[in-house]
Structure 1
């Protein structure tokens, strides 16, 4: 049974690689960049440029029988939410424009042998948004995830679009979630993704150093841990991020820890990402961190808000880590770049923080 399942995954991945290798400008393969918040999910997914680009537009908990047909009839705004819908539409239009221009949007960072040995790795990918000019810095966006869904279309697309408009290259990570995320798989995905980007920096026309990671919710939790000595970037032989830019990150998964242990690592006693509090792993050399949340964030409230941002902020201060912390009156969970909330524009402020850290890093480097 395992061989059969692995064979199916391998065949599907090979088929995806063949599709991604086809010229983006092939006859009949171009779609129009006409996505709006009122575009239906069926229309969005049937756009040939989005379909052939490989960008992931699904939410696994919605897109399963018998609910898939119902959700395909909803608009992009109904499928996501009113805060991220316009940014998601802008991001999807950027995918279409990039694909139509011959850009390879989807990149697989695990080898075929690795995927054959572990079929869960076939569910990972990097979605590439080139900068307007060569030689730009890049940001890796790690969207949130909850149970059986991930937010590439919500937080990923809107953030990629806004960072692109600001002049950066952007990669949105699809990492393993739900029952595929055992044995710290999401952290391995981040490490391998950064290594892939670093090794292909010339191809992407980016600066491999002084990158930022933008993490939301669970993605923020993973981003924080990736900055740690214990399970972070040093374990994957990749450069240290210049800055971690965190939107409503989870610091402590509180009562949810047991459920994740049962689903992902039954019988395992060692620490895993969901049992680790980011604040416990902050050290003096932790990356510079910008983090924010809203007072009306119901998700963080349900996870005991007192154990979240305030504790992370205290740890950053105790270790003299360069940081900035903002609390907004109105900024719900999954509001992404903050459109329609008090957090609107936060990413511009965070990018300025990132640039300051990058400039200091460059100034501290020894002369050649």
Structure 2
């Protein structure tokens, strides 16, 4: 009877292991054979917004350089699958070129105001860093890619790391990981420059994020702005912006690029002609090739 019990327990754990890893990703645009570790909790709690997915190339290696995917949605919408639907060829290229992809969820501003979102992002990447061997990740080669609100969070992570902002980490201590590259797709960078009468609307995305309007709380706007933390030791940036973006003014990306240049940080700014806030135009071959070029330079 004892042997039967032991066998059943072993079978249970084996079943859980099989469920944890699969070669059939939830998103169909990942190449065939991509290995998925899905719905991993990175915070040691039960929150659904504290989950991440890890996608590994089918070619077996001891470890893979890592790209962390941070979704957009005004800090109060979407999940870790967002923005993938119009970036299918880029995602396919990541896997085919030997990169691992980790897509993370974070708490919405409707549930927890800033800095909860950046705390979650930092905690997720620290989890990946600490568990790199388990998931075959190269913890010394980490890049961030973010879209809109996710671009803001990716930029804020990459730029604030040198400043050791205690409020941006779950335990108040600086993380161990180091970001090698930031790929920022149309993320807002300077909230103070956006302050105006419309910002007083409590339902405005930035007001919802901060819990107050930038006009009323410029101190919070400054703390949450990536440009606040720029210094010469920051990682390189590739900044991509749509020419006709009505949600994030292109001047936000231009300003970020100029601030980085003034500090001596390598960056490149690409304006996509006639492109709106998001869509397949950002998955174009010339954009993909530029992204792959930066990844190959800084992660391989």
Cα distance between partner residues in 2 of 1:183 and 1:358? 30
1:123-175 CA distances to partner (integer Å, 9 max, x unpaired)?
22111101233222010010112264125333246354431122101000111
RMSD: 3.4
1:171 to 1:262, Cα distance in 2 relative to 1, 3 A = closer
1:327 to 1:315, Cα distance in 2 relative to 1, 3 A = same
2:204 equivalent to 1:265:
no
Aligned to 1:168: 99
Cα distance between partner residues in 1 of 2:208 and 2:99? 40
Cα distance between partner residues in 2 of 1:345 and 1:165? 17
Q: Structure 1: which 5+ residue stretches go unaligned? A: 1-17, 34-48, 51-87, 116-120, 360-368
In the TM superposition, 1:104-115 aligns within 5 A as: 104-112=37-45, 115=46
Aligned to 1:290: 238
TM-score of the two chains, using structure 1 as the length reference: 0.62
Q: Considering fraction of residues, name the structure with more helix.
A: 1
Cα distance between partner residues in 2 of 1:24 and 1:145? 29
Residue 123 of structure 1, aligned match among 49, 63, 78: 49
Residue 196 of structure 1, aligned match among 118, 124, 127: 127
Contact 1:247 1:336 in 2 (8 A): no
2:274 equivalent to 1:330:
yes
1:334 to 1:154, Cα distance in 2 relative to 1, 3 A = farther
Aligned to 2:8: none
2:184 equivalent to 1:246:
yes
How many Å apart are 1:195 and its aligned residue? 1.1
Contact 1:244 1:290 in 2 (8 A): yes
How many Å apart are 1:274 and its aligned residue? 8.1
How many Å apart are 1:294 and its aligned residue? 1.8
Q: Structure 2: which 5+ residue stretches go unaligned? A: 1-12
Residue 78 of structure 2, aligned match among 133, 150, 173: 150
Aligned to 2:60: 133
TM-score of the two chains, using structure 2 as the length reference: 0.75
How many Å apart are 1:323 and its aligned residue? 1.2
**Higher mean displacement: 268-277 or 153-162:** 268-277
In the TM superposition, 1:60-71 aligns within 5 A as: none
Question: SS at the partner of 2:37?
Answer: coil
Q: Considering fraction of residues, name the structure with more strand.
A: 2
Aligned to 2:294: 353
How many Å apart are 1:106 and its aligned residue? 1.7
Aligned length: 265
1:170 to 1:271, Cα distance in 2 relative to 1, 3 A = farther
